[in-house]
Structure 1
Amino acid sequence: MLSNVEIKAKVSNPAAFAQKAAQLSQSEGTIIQQHDTFFTCNRGRLKLRDLMNGSGQLIFYERPDTDGPKLSRYSISPTSDPSSLRTVLSESLGVKGEVRKERRLFLIGQTRVHLDTVEGLGHYMELEVVMRPEQTVEEGQQVATDLMEQLGVSAESLVTGAYMDLILKGCKDT
């Protein structure tokens, strides 16, 4: 399985965050529309990500539900027919819920920086430090912590769990 170190946080000023991320990445970022369907499974999380362009990814991942930098292990399988795959998985496993978002992706070093506008939740950011084979979890956590500081992300804004968990809990950005 592949792995990364992730953090997720609420963003109160998306324009200011985007400006900092653009400066650090030396790009304006890439806009991606995503529709994630989460399926019932015995361990971890299983989601089908429809990229709204005829392609998608089936993603299984496991990570602890804690705030701050945490290790996530995942497997990804691309699909050219997310709609029919959604039907098969829905009928066989059952749907836990759906998340629709617009993601602005910035690449900073080995880190994927996401500025997400999540339907029903509001504005969030995610850092995904893509781990190199020789790196320790602690090194990945340090990369995430350093980037949090550069982007002005406070520890108080960190959130736990996936967007799906926040939606199921009824959390809303105020």
Structure 2
Amino acid sequence: MAAPRRNIELKASDPDPERSLAVVKGLGAHDKGVLRQRDTYFRVHTGRLKLREEDPGGATLIQYDRVDADEARESRYRLTPIDDPQTLKASLEATLGVLTVVEKERHLLLWQSVRIHLDVVKGLGNFLELEGVATADSDLALELERVTRLTEALEIAPERILRNSYSDQVVGSGALVDAARDVMQRAHAPYSNYKVGAALRAEDGSIHVGANVENAAYPQGQCAEASAIGAMVASGRTQITEVAVIADSDDFCVPCGGCRQRLREFIAPGAEIHLCARNGARQTTTLETLLPRSFGPEFL
């Protein structure tokens, strides 16, 4: 398998696109014009997968892995040109399912090895994206230096930096809740008839699900949260950024004490946990609230 390409990436909201354009042009960036892009994101267990249809241009299947963080970070990606995007899209939708569609107008500029994107994203607003494209033998230091220089020139404050992708911004927590609700239907709960589904978002944006699995020997049963954590770890992820838990009940589903400790192993105490009911009601809290003064790996 061919090694993935790499870049150093930073994405931020842009309150003044005209100023951003003037700044990068003042630095000598080359204007490559405006592109119209439609990205269809598919449901995958690891990383992200999208089909990009671009005007002017063609279609490209893009697979990438990137840790969600509020700083410039490494992205690994593969690009595959597509001659028949509609057929591929139908095949991937039938096999994987569509997560969401992101439409945007992108003003592309190039500065040294950095792609500068001034984006207007439908339904979200104006954003600025910097991609320091790396050579195969790069240690990424030069790319990080150039992205950092642009970040400073554009005066991008830390609170403007996006941790995740446009798809996560469009979908929000709704996809996580939907995933928990869907897996809840497949729970094995013949004794309690209390079906539970849990969905975890990992640091790369991927979603991992699990349902409760009861056993005739009661102590051998497994909670939904434990099932989801096992699925996440099996995929190679070890950090949870967001959780949704739902039960086949009109009451909010709250993780039991054991599952709160299980989550504590992999999640930041301040991360959001959505407690959901089958009627659509939802309450958002944090593990810090559910498990105050908790004991975690940092104490060992």
Tell me if TM exceeds 0.5: yes
Q: Per-residue deviation at 1:26?
A: 4.4
Partner of 1:65: 68
Question: Structure 1 residues 71 and 15 mapped into 2: Cα distance closer, same or farther (>3 Å)?
Answer: same
- Relative to the length of structure 1, the TM-score reads 0.91
- CA-to-aligned-CA distance 1:56-78 (integer Å, 9 cap, x gap): 10000000000111000000000
Question: Structure 1 residues 142 and 53 mapped into 2: Cα distance closer, same or farther (>3 Å)?
Answer: closer
- Distance in 2 separating the partners of 1:12 and 1:125: 9
Gaps of 5+ in 2: 174-300
Letter in 1 for 2:144: Q
Which of 148, 151, 169 is the aligned partner of 2:151? 148
Q: How many residues are matched?
A: 170
Partner of 1:89: 92
Q: Per-residue deviation at 1:125?
A: 0.6
- Distance in 2 separating the partners of 1:15 and 1:158: 18
Partner of 2:24: 21
Q: Per-residue deviation at 1:23?
A: 2.4
Which of 54, 58, 67 is the aligned partner of 1:51? 54
Secondary structure of 2:77's counterpart equals strand
- Distance in 1 separating the partners of 2:22 and 2:11: 18
Question: Structure 1 residues 52 and 84 mapped into 2: Cα distance closer, same or farther (>3 Å)?
Answer: farther
- Distance in 1 separating the partners of 2:22 and 2:32: 10
Letter in 2 for 1:80: D
Q: Per-residue deviation at 1:135?
A: 2.3
Cα root mean square deviation, aligned? 1.6
Fraction of identical pairs, as percent: 35
Structure with larger RCO (C-alpha < 8 A, sep 6+): 1
Letter in 2 for 1:8: K
Q: Per-residue deviation at 1:79?
A: 1.0
Partner of 1:110: 113
Letter in 2 for 1:2: R
- Relative to the length of structure 2, the TM-score reads 0.54
